[in-house]
Amino acid sequence: MEKIYLDHAATTPMRPEVLDAMLPYLKDRFGNPSSIHSFGREARKALDEARDKIAAIIGAGPDEIIFTSGGTEADNSAIKGIALARRDKGNHIITSSIEHHAVLDSCKALEKQGFKVTYLPVDQYGLVRPEDVRSAITDETILISIMHANNEVGTIEPIAEIARVAREKGVYFHTDAVQTVGQIPVNVEDLGVDMLSLSAHKFYGPKGVGALYVRKGVRALPFMHGGGQERGRRAGTENVPGIVGMAYALELAVKEMDENIKKVSGLRDALIRGVTERIDHVRVNGHPVKRLPGNASFCFEFVEGESILLNLDMKGIAGSSGSACTSGSLEPSHVLLAMGLPHEIAHGSLRLTLGRDNTMEQVRYVLDVLPEIISKLRSMSPFGRTAQ
Amino acid sequence: MYSEKVMDHFTNPRNVGEIPDADGIGMVGNPVCGDVMKLFIKVDGGRIADVKFKTFGCGAAIATSSMVTELVKGKTLEEAMTISNKAVAEALDGLPANKMHCSNLAADALHAAIRDYLAKRDGQAQAGHGH
Is B26 an 8 Å CB contact of chain A? no
| Domain span holding position B107 | 4-124
pTM attached to this predicted model: 0.94
Rounded CA gap, A143 and A107, in Å? 11
Under a CB-based contact definition with an 8 Å cutoff, are residues A30 and A237 in contact? Answer: no
DSSP collapsed to 3 states, chain B = CCCHHHHHHHHCCCCECCCCCCCEEEEEEECCCCEEEEEEEEEECCEEEEEEEEEECCHHHHHHHHHHHHHHCCCEHHHHHCCCHHHHHHHCCCCCCCHHHHCCCHHHHHHHHHHHHHHHHHHHHHHHHHC
CB contacts < 8 A, A to B, total: 70
- Please tell me the predicted confidence (pLDDT) of residue A49: 98
User: Does residue B79 form part of some domain?
Assistant: yes
Q: B18 contacts in A (CB within 8 Å)?
A: 386
Which CATH number fits the domain that encloses residue B13?
Answer: 3.90.1010.10
Q: Alpha helices, DSSP H only, in chain A?
A: 16-26, 38-58, 71-85, 101-112, 130-136, 159-168, 188-191, 240-255, 257-278, 305-314, 324-327, 334-338, 343-346, 360-380
Judge: A383–B31 Cβ closer than 8 Å, yes or no. yes
Whether residue B99 lies within 8 A of chain A, CB to CB, comes out as yes
Question: What pLDDT, on a 0 to 100 scale, did the predictor assign at position A1?
Answer: 86
Q: Residues B55-75: pLDDT tens digits?
A: 999 999 999 999 999 999 999
Tell me the average pLDDT across B8-25. Answer: 97
B78 within domain boundaries: yes
* Burial grade of B63 (CB within 10 A; 0-12, 13-18, 19 or more): buried
Amino acid at A191: L
Q: Please compute the mean of the pLDDT values over residues A20-28 and round it to a whole number.
A: 98
- In this prediction, residues A196-222 reach a mean pLDDT of 97
A313 vs B: CB within 8 A: no
> Does residue B56 form part of some domain?
yes
- Domains held by chain B: number: 1
Say which of B56, B98, B103 has its CB closest to residue A382.
Answer: B56
The fraction of chain B above a pLDDT of 70, given in percent, is: 97
Q: Minimal Cα distance from B39: which residue of A?
A: A382
Whether residue A325 lies within 8 A of chain B, CB to CB, comes out as yes
On the question of pLDDT at B129 being above 90, the answer is no
Q: Do B35 and A304 touch (CB under 8 A)?
A: yes
Q: What is the DSSP letter of A3?
A: -
Q: Is residue B130 part of a domain?
A: no
Asked if the structure places residue B131 within a domain, the reply is: no
Domain for residue B82, yes or no? yes
**Closest CB to A306 among B13, B31, B58:** B58
- pLDDT given at position B33: 82
Q: Is B54 on the interface with A (CB under 8 A)?
A: yes
Q: What is the pLDDT of residue A372?
A: 97
Q: Is the pLDDT of residue B120 over 80?
A: yes
> Is residue B89, in this structure, part of any structural domain at all?
yes
pLDDT above 90 for B34: no
* DSSP letters spanning A126-159: SPPPHHHHHHH--TTEEEEE--SB-TTT-BBP-H
Query: A255-305 pLDDT, tens per residue?
Result: 999 999 999 999 999 999 999 999 999 999 999 999 999 999 999 999 999
Closest CA to B56 of B44, B45, B65, B47: B65
> Within a domain: residue B115?
yes
Nearest to B62 among A328, A347, A380 (CB): A380
Does the structure show a pLDDT above 80 at A81? yes
